[in-house]
């Protein structure tokens, strides 16, 4: 089959990546999707069982930092476009091991950019390099500050957000210096199916189910702006197809929650679905030492995306959180598998280390 585009999606076995891969494979049979993933602890091919046999889907195990390998893959598949999601993504891990974050998020992005620059030099305008970034590059807001817009200055505080900010700068530099057709989106916190249970929402749902303590950092007063992951994937589709070269788009749900309030909603929803009396699991809330450098508040102004490209979130939060809690309760095997580490051994056997 002659595909219209061959899109290299990096990090497709991760939380957001699997939803993006699924959307592109199913919605665009005229595109070939190459899912390139290193399968770190956060990458899990079980997330993509329902697409693995599709004719327009290919999986390649590779490290984005391995420049020679990336060049080889560009040539082998005649890659026409990139949607880059592969990253180390957990703030707490970045505090313990900043080197891995600089390596993957900065050097890995640079290696992809350089490959794209070499392979597409005949005509940059017809090849898109889409870099998926985070609102955390903008730093932290006070309770009464206005929301982050696309022109808010970068002010990252954690090693994770510093590495993402650096990668965003490299992407823009490749546009300004070489004319690469890049595009960046900065999204708020995502939630939904297939998120690794080290992040707040899946960790707490799992702990409530098993009557384990819920470690709330500090006083639980920090605020995050939550977006259902499939709405993020829909936004990526819109930005990839309609966004302006060299431009940036913020993606968010106008859905701010103080952690402690969100945790109470999760407790209420899990208790309801498990048939427990209301308030049954409130005693699991355990205030613990705050995260170092814990950003107080993130909140995204995504009006540009709505006004220019017509994207809006499709789900109300109440509906999204109920769907999410249900999914984790119904997929206990998935949670047990990723928390036991068994799946890493399985894929090591299949694809090597």
Residue numbers annotated as active site: 135-136, 160
- How many Å apart are CA 67 and CA 69, to the nearest integer? 5
**Residue 86 touches which member of ligand NAD, ligand TYD, none, C-beta under 5-8 Å by kind:** ligand NAD
Nearer to ligand TYD, 169 or 291 (CB): 291
Q: Which residues pair with 169 in a beta bridge?
A: none
- Residue 11 CB, shortest distance to ligand NAD, in Å, is 3
Residues 176-215 that bind ligand NAD (CB under 6 A): 187, 189-190, 196
The residue from 7, 8, 11, 201 that contacts ligand NAD (CB under 6 A) is 11
- Please, which of residues 15-44 interact with ligand NAD by CB under 6 A? 15-17, 37-40, 42-43
**Least CB distance from residue 293 to ligand NAD, whole Å?**
17
Shortest approach of ligand NAD to residue 14 CB, angstroms? 2
Contact 41, 68 (CB under 8 A): no
Residues numbered 89 to 128 that lie near ligand NAD (CB under 6 A) are 89, 104, 108
Q: List, edge to edge, every strand of the sheet that includes 81-84.
A: 57-61, 31-37, 5-10, 81-84, 128-134, 181-187, 248-251
Please say which residue, 5 or 90, places its beta carbon nearer to ligand NAD: 90
| N-to-C CA span, the chain | 32
Decide if 334 contacts 46 (C-beta within 8 A). yes
Nearest to 187 by CA among 257, 242, 245, 138: 138
Q: How far apart are CA 217 and CA 131, in angstroms?
A: 30
Identify which of residues 20 and 216 has a Cβ nearer to ligand TYD in the complex: 216
* Binding site residues, ligand NAD, CB under 6 A: 10-11, 13-17, 37-40, 42-43, 63-65, 85-89, 104, 108, 132, 134, 164, 187, 189-190, 196
């Amino acid at each position: 089959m002659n595909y219209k585009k061959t899109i290299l999606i990096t990090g497709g076995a991760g939380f957001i990546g699997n939803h993006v891969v699924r959307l592109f494979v199913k919605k665009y049979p005229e595109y070939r999707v190459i899912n390139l993933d290193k399968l770190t602890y956060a990458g899990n091919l079980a997330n993509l069982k329902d697409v693995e046999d599709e004719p327009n889907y290919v999986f390649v195990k590779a490290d984005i930092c391995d420049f020679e390998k990336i060049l080889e893959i560009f040539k082998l598949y005649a890659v026409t476009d990139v949607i880059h999601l592969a990253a180390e993504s957990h703030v707490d891990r970045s505090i313990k091991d900043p080197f891995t974050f600089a390596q993957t998020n900065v050097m890995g992005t640079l290696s992809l950019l350089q490959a794209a620059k070499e392979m597409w030099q005949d005509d940059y305008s017809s090849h898109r390099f889409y870099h998926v970034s985070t609102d955390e590059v903008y730093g932290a807001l006070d309770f009464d500050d206005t929301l982050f817009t696309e022109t808010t200055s970068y002010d990252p505080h954690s090693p994770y957000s510093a590495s993402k900010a650096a990668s965003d700068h490299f992407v823009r530099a490749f546009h300004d210096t070489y004319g690469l057709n890049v595009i960046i989106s900065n999204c708020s916190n995502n939630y939904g199916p297939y998120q690794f249970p080290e992040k707040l929402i899946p960790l707490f749902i799992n702990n409530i189910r098993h009557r384990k303590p819920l470690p709330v950092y500090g006083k639980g007063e920090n605020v995050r702006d939550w977006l259902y992951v499939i709405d993020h994937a829909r936004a990526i589709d819109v930005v990839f197809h309609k966004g302006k070269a060299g431009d940036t788009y913020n993606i968010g749900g106008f859905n701010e929650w103080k952690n402690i309030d969100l945790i109470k909603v999760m407790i209420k929803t899990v208790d309801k679905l498990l048939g427990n009396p209301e308030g049954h699991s409130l005693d699991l809330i355990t205030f613990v030492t705050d995260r170092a450098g814990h950003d107080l508040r993130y909140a995204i102004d995504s009006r540009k995306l709505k006004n220019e490209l017509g994207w809006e979130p499709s789900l109300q939060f109440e509906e999204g959180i109920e769907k999410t809690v249900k999914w984790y309760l119904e997929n206990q095997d998935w949670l047990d598998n990723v928390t036991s580490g068994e799946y890493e051994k399985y894929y090591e056997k299949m694809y090597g280390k």
